[in-house]
């Protein structure tokens, strides 16, 4: 007996609802296996870029390769993970250096994305409004405008 396409979709939806916990458990086990084997949890690449957390120095929960890390940035800041190459181009155009301090950046280690005009001050999630910066610099800048942040840094440098 042949099923129509609609019946198949309906059957699959019912299967997923009934076996939701089993499916989630399988996914968790697969992620753990990938983590133990030091491969990217999304694409199984062996080129991992974030073995330790930036803030704590402990092992991260989710190991990612550079491309998957860039895709995450792209999804967060540009709305789609398919625009990751634009993020990579921005990183390469800065020669892998922090926009403000010139510190060498490593994706998955100390690289962070900053809005030149903060979102809290009507800044947009557009490539033209984003820069790669060291995460410590990003924490210091907070929601300051670029000019205000540079002014404060110069004042601090004058004191020392």
Cβ(49)–Cβ(43) below 8 Å: no
Residue tagged 């998957």 (tokens): 68
Decide: 132 and 99 in contact? Cβ < 8 Å. yes
pLDDT band at 147 (very low <50, low <70, confident <90, very high): very high
- For the structural domain made of 38-159, what CATH number should be given? 3.30.40
Per-residue confidence (pLDDT) for residue 1, from 0 to 100: 52
Give the Cβ contact number of residue 149 at 10 Å: 18
In the predicted model, what is the mean pLDDT of residues 20-25?
Answer: 78
Whole-number pLDDT of residue 16: 73
Domain residue ranges of the chain, discontinuous segments joined by + = 38-159
Least Cα distance to 39 among 27, 51, 28 occurs for 51
d(CA 26, CA 121): 43
Mean pLDDT of 20-42: 74
pTM comes to: 0.72
| Spatial CA neighbour of 60 closest among 52, 69, 48, 49 | 52
Determine the Cα–Cα distance for residues 152 and 144; give it in Å rounded to an integer. Answer: 10
Mean pLDDT of 96-101: 95
Longest CA–CA span in the chain (Å) reads 83
Tens of pLDDT along 50-88? 666 555 455 666 778 889 889 989 999 999 999 999 999
Residue given tokens 């997923």 in the structure block: 16
Contact (Cβ atoms closer than 8 angstroms) between residue 63 and residue 36: no
Give bridge partners of residue 113 from the DSSP assignment: 132
Which residues share a beta bridge with 65? Answer: 48
């Amino acid at each position: 007996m042949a099923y129509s396409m609609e019946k198949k979709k309906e059957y699959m939806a019912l299967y997923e609802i009934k076996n939701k916990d089993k499916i989630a458990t399988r996914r968790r086990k697969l992620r753990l296996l990938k983590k133990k084997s030091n491969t990217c949890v999304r694409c199984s690449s062996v080129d991992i870029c974030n073995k330790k957390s930036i803030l704590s120095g402990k092992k991260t929960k989710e190991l990612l390769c550079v491309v998957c890390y860039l895709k995450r940035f792209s999804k967060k800041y540009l709305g789609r993970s398919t625009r990751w190459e634009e993020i990579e181009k921005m990183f390469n155009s800065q020669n892998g250096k922090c926009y403000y301090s010139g510190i060498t950046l490593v994706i998955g280690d100390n690289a962070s994305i900053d809005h030149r005009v903060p979102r809290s001050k009507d800044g947009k999630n557009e490539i033209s409004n984003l820069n790669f910066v060291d995460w410590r610099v990003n924490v210091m800048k907070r929601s300051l405008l670029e000019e205000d942040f540079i002014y404060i840094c110069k004042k601090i440098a004058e004191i020392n």
